[in-house]
Structure 1
């Protein structure tokens, strides 16, 4: 390095250090901080080298400091604003707050602040913004792409891709919208620096992200002139503050009993993660009823309530948030004291991401995994739900081409057999691949077609299965658990931590966590989880597009054809009765549904649901929904309820037409199929006319609610005064 270069670097370092201290002064008053090893080198690569950089460092290392400091140095040199692509709203809120403390003018455009978009755009036009945070979903929004993005890219000072593992197919939290970023990088003016950051990337993900950052062709397909590759900074991932452990308990009741017993002894405040929304809600309810200060935090939690819950945890006003992965990347509480998992994530990398929230500014934080036998079924559900299929993609493309103009998602639902969430995910995949485009008024086909990359999806599925197996091995290993986790991220320099339960056992010491679960607390957990009765809300509206399927039904379902609110014993995903129900709805080795009569324990739960129902008028008769897969189960349920309730047993509806295609279709298709599937026989019709009270409509499983809706409509049309649906289980 020449003398001039050395002096320039020294000047930049002094300026950068001043910016860093301004950034951290509010959170660490009176402390003269300095750069961690590698931080300034990353800043220098961006500011002086105008390079593309990839920083892979553990949570709490200070990746955000790199891009905030670099942003202000670039702004001081006349550059335009920084754009940070950030995946979670919680992360944006924390980053904006940190930026404001340092005098950085930071704003956001995301789904939670739509009323502020015009003001933000006006500030951007007036060059009054230093940092703009956007969600990756904004990149698919037609208005943002057309009116904001082109001008922004011309003036961009720095592009930051936070949680960059989301770009990669191989990342544990791949998101289709992130794949658009590679295309945006290709449009940047030469010399625009780009920074990608993550705490969770193995060598395959790093290579994939680096390729998308730096190996993109310039105009005409030739390599970009002057490219000297991607500056990659990777540090050790071992977290010295974390004490890891795994406690194998036999049942959900025991796991919750452990938490009821020992939650208050865990250090500080923390997070209890669950794999499903219902598990989070049930766990939070039982803990709160036992006097623990906790709140549920899931994808169903209102945005304002989420922000309030985050604030309460950060201020240590509650002991824990009981959360799904809705509280994940980006939640910033440096003194988080513990993370407990009720159920294991599907990969060690995802697990490392979540437990990395703890112990960032404390000497010790406790991390405990309480795995369950149902974990593998939940892994399988989420893994298969996110993989596009050739037939569904072809159906969507054909519907768009046939329409000849934009179709909204609800309108498209009426033309293809897909539910809203998987349809939206498939549209994102097709959009990123260039086959469809989101324009004003909806989605259109681009005419470019789409190739189903079977080999790619096969390799992704294999990688997911390998991750799941590695998670099983983490639970069973007698090696150092921290070493195991970071090796999954291809950090081969880690040594045994000496603090996890495996290291302690190797040294002849007991694990750091208590293993006993007092019987009375298990019983209390069982009492809380055994609460039966989930409300089945009646459908009140026909789905759009029914006329295209040959049924002239639209708008509200007529009041005289609706069901009343119904009841299920429990959800299949519940921690309590869910486990027994999952066993009841199992399949044999050939994949055929196992059909058996209702077990005595579940029969008792059914009676308790009826006892607690609180209906306006008691039912007087029972009618069952005919079942092809579990006729014994449904028949025994209907007969048992009729007997115990002294209700008239009217038999079942008749099956007509072809069998329905199975669960998985969207509302229009499901409604049309079941409306054509059932009929009321002559004998049943005559008996319905004579009833003086409601009918109890019995089925085994409530999924989309359209089966119950169609059956109730038929019964009401044939004289039933009211219909009360009852099922053993509710899906989801």
Structure 2
């Protein structure tokens, strides 16, 4: 289906000329795909014609596998043959860039990339661009705001670019499911383009609200570019249905049942695929269990090193692994023929869910997409929602600090603003696009320009997110066709006269999923999840800028605690469930003795921890919210090990409330230093030997770092932290 936001321009060439251009494009297509019988579909030609003939701006919303890359490569070849400058493609992922470079070569197009992994090649790439030897330049959105690239390279690109392509364009919109602030810099690039330069934005997943927002941003143009304003932005939106997908939901009550189902049924799924998890910890936990169950799998997340990512992606494409157990880091632009997708936990919206399942079913007749929802999904959604744009006062504090301090790095700004590094960076990127701050060598500076906090927009985005979460919950329980439900959420209307039932999902009778697991599989999963013990890695460096907060601490932490242990992460599938219940209870109900199940888990952790055998005493961190829990944990460990409690990190400044400064390291260290002081037991004037330092929950690690340092200063030879939970 083709729609336009304005009347199309008069043809810039006659019908015969257009036919000749189409014939030329189809010749190039045959080279690209390696088939002599390949022809363009009408919707593909419409997009190419708009770009290469009419020099328009276009937004293409089409499902994965439709051929969006063919459109911009063929348009590039046509434009280059007519003397246009190189195409610039803004692409979000290195994996996507690698695929695109390989595809371009097949069509005889020279493509190069500038990203964080090829810094040494930049000068040579720039020289090739200047000499006309490059047809396509792929850049990451983050590169657009690198000071030297923005100031030195971007103006030259804007002056010479023949076609601008924005891949995964839903990232431009903060209404989209994967908004990235760096993408907003594209608006500046659009405004700086020469008159008549065509622009293409593409995405596989966008509802009507996101489509409209992206189209409006594409319409940004120079005031004198009246022709473009008259034409408007061409929007080509096709059906997002993937006929090979077989959608289904398996509702299982416990994490053990879900893990057992996956271990038992993974081998029944066709080909190779992806098992999506909501957290990094879950990918590692699930992958380990599946390997022990005999499956060839590997974990993949944002923490996976670049070289290893490339190797794992190649293994999946070649079918050398049954599955990658991945976070959404394995997502946009990953080009492979996959037989299935399993979601262990539901994404926060139908749109993001459909993008993930859309990885499967390309080039396969059938591809099951199985969702195994969990009760803890909503907690994880809430955590990610907490990373939304900061409150106005926090933004104003940041702007004031920049105005007063001058150019400042993010690390220094952290000491003035109670925000995490990630949220602070994201906020600064938005402020940069809005013109309130500017990224420069050495950090950020204030522009002094007035800035308005768009509270109404942020509120509406939050409300939209909440509606999407409810829509995802409704998807789990719906008895209507699942494909029809998802298409409606993506504002993807059914063709006139088409049935609302896909005939392929579990609700339509096209997919039969067993909800049972064998006793053996359940027992193995139960054993895996019951095994406690997570490493607590010690902090190695003091945060930058502590001198701004009156603390003479910097560099390496030479006198902190050693590596510690926690029973489990709060996001873990096993003991994480009991820990989440413990730490999210109402204030009046959250204190008390350590629950029996966690008592046994603590004893198992100590029994499996060789260093704990050298412990000669116990210390603990005082608590005002869970004092009984912490004291019970410390005394229980003391009795079990047969060693005394020799000290506590006591609350000496109750005005510093629990958790203050937890958003960033520098302010957290300052808050802990004020709140606590080491108190030795009445019969002690020093601490010796190895001390087990007990706390209920590690959030940032700075409380245990400061406490361990105090114990070392009082004479302890080594300090081993032990907590019930790890918030990670």
TM-score range, shorter chain: over 0.9
2: CA distance, partners of 1:652 / 1:120: 60
Q: Is the alpha carbon distance of 1:31 and 1:361 closer, same or farther for their aligned partners in structure 2, counting shifts above 3 Å?
A: farther
Q: Is the alpha carbon distance of 1:557 and 1:367 closer, same or farther for their aligned partners in structure 2, counting shifts above 3 Å?
A: same
The residue correspondences of 1:232-381 to structure 2 (distance < 5 A) are 232-333=235-336, 335-381=337-383
Residue aligned with 1:69, SS: helix
State whether residues 581 and 729 of structure 1, in contact with CA within 8 Å, keep that contact through their aligned partners in structure 2.
yes
2: CA distance, partners of 1:363 / 1:152: 43
| Equivalent in the alignment of 2:6 | none
Moved more, 428-437 or 324-333: 428-437
Aligned residues: 713
TM-superposed CA distance for 1:663, in Å, is: 5.5
Q: Is the alpha carbon distance of 1:593 and 1:53 closer, same or farther for their aligned partners in structure 2, counting shifts above 3 Å?
A: farther
| Alignment counterpart, residue 29 of structure 2, candidates 20, 23, 29 | 20
Q: Show CA shifts across 1:436-456 (max 9, x none).
A: 111122110111132211111
Q: Establish whether residue 647 from structure 1 lines up as the match of residue 643 from structure 2.
A: yes
Q: Is the alpha carbon distance of 1:690 and 1:512 closer, same or farther for their aligned partners in structure 2, counting shifts above 3 Å?
A: closer
State whether residues 246 and 368 of structure 2, in contact with CA within 8 Å, keep that contact through their aligned partners in structure 1.
yes
TM-superposed CA distance for 1:3, in Å, is: 13
State whether residues 186 and 218 of structure 1, in contact with CA within 8 Å, keep that contact through their aligned partners in structure 2.
no
| Equivalent in the alignment of 2:145 | 140
Residue aligned with 1:148, SS: helix
TM-superposed CA distance for 1:226, in Å, is: 5.9
1: CA distance, partners of 2:227 / 2:396: 36
Q: Establish whether residue 425 from structure 1 lines up as the match of residue 426 from structure 2.
A: yes
RMSD: 1.8
State whether residues 268 and 338 of structure 1, in contact with CA within 8 Å, keep that contact through their aligned partners in structure 2.
yes
Q: Establish whether residue 100 from structure 1 lines up as the match of residue 105 from structure 2.
A: yes
2: CA distance, partners of 1:2 / 1:552: 71
2: CA distance, partners of 1:273 / 1:42: 33
State whether residues 218 and 224 of structure 1, in contact with CA within 8 Å, keep that contact through their aligned partners in structure 2.
no
State whether residues 176 and 428 of structure 1, in contact with CA within 8 Å, keep that contact through their aligned partners in structure 2.
yes
Moved more, 103-112 or 511-520: 511-520
Residue aligned with 2:55, SS: coil
1: CA distance, partners of 2:269 / 2:182: 38
Q: Establish whether residue 689 from structure 1 lines up as the match of residue 686 from structure 2.
A: yes
State whether residues 297 and 325 of structure 2, in contact with CA within 8 Å, keep that contact through their aligned partners in structure 1.
yes
Residue aligned with 1:87, SS: coil
2: CA distance, partners of 1:152 / 1:363: 43
2: CA distance, partners of 1:351 / 1:226: 35
2: CA distance, partners of 1:412 / 1:380: 26
- Where structure 2 has 5 or more consecutive residues not aligned to the other structure, the ranges are 1-9
| Equivalent in the alignment of 2:614 | 618
2: CA distance, partners of 1:305 / 1:622: 41
TM-superposed CA distance for 1:256, in Å, is: 0.8
Residue aligned with 2:614, SS: coil
TM-superposed CA distance for 1:574, in Å, is: 1.0
Q: Establish whether residue 671 from structure 1 lines up as the match of residue 669 from structure 2.
A: yes
Q: Show CA shifts across 1:132-156 (max 9, x none).
A: 1111111111111122111111111
The residue correspondences of 1:392-471 to structure 2 (distance < 5 A) are 392-404=394-406, 406-471=407-472
TM-superposed CA distance for 1:557, in Å, is: 2.4
Q: Show CA shifts across 1:362-411 (max 9, x none).
A: 1111100000000011111111213222122112111111112x212222
TM-superposed CA distance for 1:12, in Å, is: 0.4
1: CA distance, partners of 2:726 / 2:631: 18
Q: Show CA shifts across 1:185-205 (max 9, x none).
A: 111111100011111111111
| Equivalent in the alignment of 1:536 | 536
The residue correspondences of 1:109-148 to structure 2 (distance < 5 A) are 109-148=114-153
The residue correspondences of 1:423-572 to structure 2 (distance < 5 A) are 423-493=424-494, 495-504=500-509, 511-558=511-558, 561-572=559-570
1: CA distance, partners of 2:541 / 2:60: 50
| Equivalent in the alignment of 2:703 | 707
| Equivalent in the alignment of 1:167 | 172
Q: Is the alpha carbon distance of 1:592 and 1:465 closer, same or farther for their aligned partners in structure 2, counting shifts above 3 Å?
A: farther
State whether residues 339 and 358 of structure 1, in contact with CA within 8 Å, keep that contact through their aligned partners in structure 2.
yes
Residue aligned with 1:503, SS: coil
2: CA distance, partners of 1:566 / 1:683: 23
| Equivalent in the alignment of 1:725 | 721
Residue aligned with 1:615, SS: helix
TM-superposed CA distance for 1:530, in Å, is: 2.3
| Alignment counterpart, residue 659 of structure 1, candidates 648, 656, 661 | 656
Moved more, 324-333 or 434-443: 434-443
Q: Show CA shifts across 1:586-626 (max 9, x none).
A: 132xx667222211111111001101111176112111100
- Where structure 1 has 5 or more consecutive residues not aligned to the other structure, the ranges are none
1: CA distance, partners of 2:143 / 2:258: 40
State whether residues 533 and 605 of structure 2, in contact with CA within 8 Å, keep that contact through their aligned partners in structure 1.
yes
Residue aligned with 2:619, SS: strand
Residue aligned with 2:100, SS: helix
TM-superposed CA distance for 1:75, in Å, is: 0.3
| Equivalent in the alignment of 2:594 | 598
2: CA distance, partners of 1:4 / 1:392: 55
| Equivalent in the alignment of 1:578 | 576
2: CA distance, partners of 1:226 / 1:257: 58
Q: Is the alpha carbon distance of 1:679 and 1:327 closer, same or farther for their aligned partners in structure 2, counting shifts above 3 Å?
A: same
| Equivalent in the alignment of 1:56 | 61
The normalised TM-score by structure 1 is 0.95
Residue aligned with 1:474, SS: helix
| Equivalent in the alignment of 1:698 | 694
Q: Show CA shifts across 1:46-80 (max 9, x none).
A: 11100011111111110111000000000000000
Q: Is the alpha carbon distance of 1:31 and 1:708 closer, same or farther for their aligned partners in structure 2, counting shifts above 3 Å?
A: same
Q: Is the alpha carbon distance of 1:426 and 1:690 closer, same or farther for their aligned partners in structure 2, counting shifts above 3 Å?
A: closer
Q: Establish whether residue 149 from structure 1 lines up as the match of residue 154 from structure 2.
A: yes
2: CA distance, partners of 1:21 / 1:727: 62
TM-superposed CA distance for 1:524, in Å, is: 0.8
TM-superposed CA distance for 1:284, in Å, is: 0.7
2: CA distance, partners of 1:37 / 1:633: 68
Residue aligned with 1:484, SS: helix
